[in-house]
Structure 1
């Protein structure tokens, strides 16, 4: 199965908990139906990306990266690579690369979708159709900052940095999944 086929299957089978996420799910499926290259960063109108909300073993902290290009604290994630066979696999690969943590466990069903404009590696304005997954770190996991990050820190869910309001819906979706 190709990454495009996996993304289509995952999004077809996922049932989000609210109307806004359902509308985005339908838009993503329409985009994928129109663009066979919709998972490749070379797709200039936009492309799917895969990210991971990494929670510690207690579920009380999340690992965020200070993104060098955006200048904000974000969840781990990024572009799908030609070797990625699944969206969940792409999110897990990105989380592992960016955190240095081995033994991460991913929930294979998305928790949240987000579309945002960005000028990424293509050098032209585009959109990221981000599919977000819940990832759990093993007990006593120690993160190591990669070259893709200015900083990498564990943040208590009840004491997040001030500029992450747009992450709140994703965090709420993850916590609802854990309940």
Structure 2
């Protein structure tokens, strides 16, 4: 039986977000050779149009995630994913109401951490492509950012997480999701480069 075509809704509901993601990645200087390859593959995916921002797009879709640092940059916040049963950075799918990819990442970080007042650097720290179970099998083209929590922040576990925890960057918990450890160095570099600021 032929596969049903994707709905046409994302063509309008994700149009602005798609334009933002395309501009952001086209102008980004990758932080590693692997990130450069993933960036180019993601730009090729985005050539499909706004549907590439939606989980309905079976070949793959763009997601947004963050590595949350404490105010000193010496601890990182990770969640024990309820379905994957691995420690991962915070993040997830883009939604039609997200104004920008940075905004999607900040929304996900706030929802999953329960922390108000997070600050995000608008320059990506990584792009990673990995298989997931969405729509019976797909690829996440995950654009990743650095976020800093305010001093004294207290996290709250969301419905998507089994646990949240702060860890020293050189002693991350196990089992750890592939690709999470590679975010530590560029996230700390982003913090040193400039004060992280609220997303637009």
Q: TM-score, normalised by structure 1?
A: 0.94
Work out whether 1:63 is the aligned partner of 2:77.
yes
Work out whether 1:159 is the aligned partner of 2:171.
yes
Task: Work out which of the residue numbers 162, 168, 175 in structure 1 matches 2:188.
Answer: 175
Deviations 1:87-138 (A, max 9, x none): 1100000000011100000001100111110103x3x011111000000000
Q: Counterpart of 2:5? A: none
Q: Counterpart of 1:135? A: 147
Task: Work out which of the residue numbers 30, 35, 39 in structure 2 matches 1:21.
Answer: 35
Q: Which moved more, 1:138-147 or 1:36-45?
A: 36-45
Unaligned runs of 5+ in 1: none
Q: Counterpart of 2:51? A: 37
Deviations 1:144-166 (A, max 9, x none): 00111111111111211133263
Work out whether 1:84 is the aligned partner of 2:112.
no
In 2, Cα distance between equivalents of 1:110 and 1:51: 10
Work out the number of aligned pairs and report it. 177
Q: CA deviation at 1:43?
A: 0.9
In 2, Cα distance between equivalents of 1:18 and 1:159: 22
Q: CA deviation at 1:38?
A: 0.5
Preserved contact between residue 25 and residue 43 of structure 2 (Cα < 8 Å): yes
Q: Counterpart of 2:67? A: 53
Runs ≥4 residues deviating over 6 A? none
In 2, Cα distance between equivalents of 1:160 and 1:18: 21
Preserved contact between residue 121 and residue 145 of structure 2 (Cα < 8 Å): yes
In 2, Cα distance between equivalents of 1:76 and 1:88: 13
In 1, Cα distance between equivalents of 2:100 and 2:22: 10
The higher radius of gyration belongs to: 2
In 2, Cα distance between equivalents of 1:100 and 1:174: 20
